[in-house]
Chains A and B, each alone.
Chain A
Amino acid sequence: MATTLNKIEVTCPECGQTQAESENFISTVCRGCGHYFKSARAAASGRRKVQRTVIRKKELACAECGAVQEVAEEAQSSSCLQCGRHLELGHREILGEHLGNLSLEGELRIGPKGNFGGSRARAARIILQGRASGYLEAAEWLRVEGHAKLRTGAAGGKLEIRAGAVLEAGEPILFESGEIEGELRCPLARFNGPLRVGPQGAVLAEKLSFTELTVEPGGKIRAWAEMAGGEGPRSGTPGLR
């Protein structure tokens, strides 16, 4: 059975002539002036653009050889193009006992009841709330949020000890900079950059070194100290006059 198409009258936008077209027409040519034009509905809908998925990438340095490569931001693992090392990119949380070494390019959280029992854990960022028997290496920062104990030591970019938190370490602590709002107890603490001890902060160490030191009123330090080698950035001269 044939379907009857309703006709509508359309006006050419160029010359104003009217002509009959199917009510579903998309485009046509004016029979008076030859102008090609689209129906109002087709013009309004426009052309659909094909959206391609953009894969965001990030730079990643291999913990083994240091080679830098690009990986997708959402990737969970990769292999170093230089040395072939397997790179674990995700995050890890230790809530109980963990034996064995760890090497992550993401974040490692050792919970309040967690205990890292391996000999070495490496991650971009480490949040320490519990204990660790092995050495901790945090490329970007190590943040202490609870009463944490390290049987050995730790190293990395920045050491942050939050207010009320305590870090007890049995071996040297080696970082680029430090923000101590809680308490740090260790035999040796070396900061290759600035060290700041906040109003509730305390550093109790046998030996301490830094390039720049700020101890705010209320903060506490008991240590034999010396300036670390290398010059830090020059700064202004606030304080007394």
Chain B
Amino acid sequence: MSREENLAEEEVLSTETGLQIWGDVKFREDAVVGAHVKGDVKGAGRVIVKEGAVVTGALEGSDLRVQGEVQGGVAGRGQVWIGSQAKVKLRCQGQSLRIEPGAEFRGEIQVG
């Protein structure tokens, strides 16, 4: 199984859905965020923000996949994917970007 395929099962420092965190969160590895985080989220690897999750600050990581809400903008060092249920405000940075129809985005885009 490839690294991509087992991301959700093995290399996840996941916060449970329903959990609320006050303050910034840093992940050393790939991460899945399912909580309401009142602060920034920074990941050394890939970061997935699940549907229903909210990050009030900024989201950073290598590759980002957003299905929830990020209010402080997203900055990826690689691919950024914003799903059809996602809400992202303020800014979006990455080396490549995909915004699905139905997503909500409003802000500055800097790609490439």
A-side residues, CB < 8 A to B, are 194, 197, 202, 208, 210-227, 231-235, 237-241
Q: How many residues of B contact A (CB 8 A)?
A: 33
Is the CB of B21 closer than 8 A to any CB of chain A? no
With a cutoff of 8 Å between Cβ atoms, the chain A residues found around residue B102 in the complex are: 231-232, 234
- Chain B nearest Cβ from A69, distance in angstroms: 35
**Do A220 and B100 touch across chains, with their CB atoms under 8 A apart?**
no
Instruction: Identify 4 new A-B residue pairs, CB closer than 8 A, beyond the known A217-B79, A234-B101.
Output: A214-B99, A219-B96, A237-B81, A240-B65
In the assembled complex, B13 has its CB within 8 A of some CB on chain A: no
B95 to chain A, nearest CB (A): 6
B93 to chain A, nearest CB (A): 10
User: In the complex the two chains form, what is the Cα distance from A241 to B102 in whole Å?
Assistant: 19
B7 touches A222 (CB 8 A): no
The reply to whether the CB of B110 lies closer than 8 angstroms to some CB of chain A is yes
- A239 and B79 contact, CB distance less than 8 A: yes
Name, among B64, B65, B109, the residue most crowded by chain A CB atoms within 10 Å (CB to CB): B109
Residue of B84, B97, B103 touching A221 (CB-CB under 8 A): B97
Q: Do A215 and B96 touch across chains, with their CB atoms under 8 A apart?
A: yes
B105 contacts partner chain A, Cβ-Cβ < 8 Å = yes
Known contacts: A219-B112, A222-B110, A224-B108. The answer to whether A213 contacts B65 by CB under 8 A is: no
CA distance A241 to B94 in the complex (A): 17
B7 CB contacts on chain A under 8 angstroms: 241
Residues of A within 8 A of B48 (CB): 240
What B residues does A225 contact at CB under 8 A?
92, 105-109
Question: In the docked arrangement, what's the CA distance between A157 and B35, Å?
Answer: 42
* A220 cross-chain contacts in B, Cβ below 8 A: 111-112
* Pair A240/B112 contact, Cβ less than 8 Å: no
- Determine if B83 and A227 form an interchain contact, defined as CB atoms under 8 angstroms apart: no
B64 is contacted by which of A194, A227, A240 (Cβ under 8 Å)?
A240
Distance A102 CA – B4 CA, assembled complex (angstroms): 55
Give chain A residues whose Cβ lies under 8 Å from the Cβ of B5: 241
Contact with A along B7-44 (1 / 0, CB 8 A): 11000000000000000000000000000000000000
Q: Hey, which chain B residues are within 8 Å of A214, CB to CB? A: 97-99
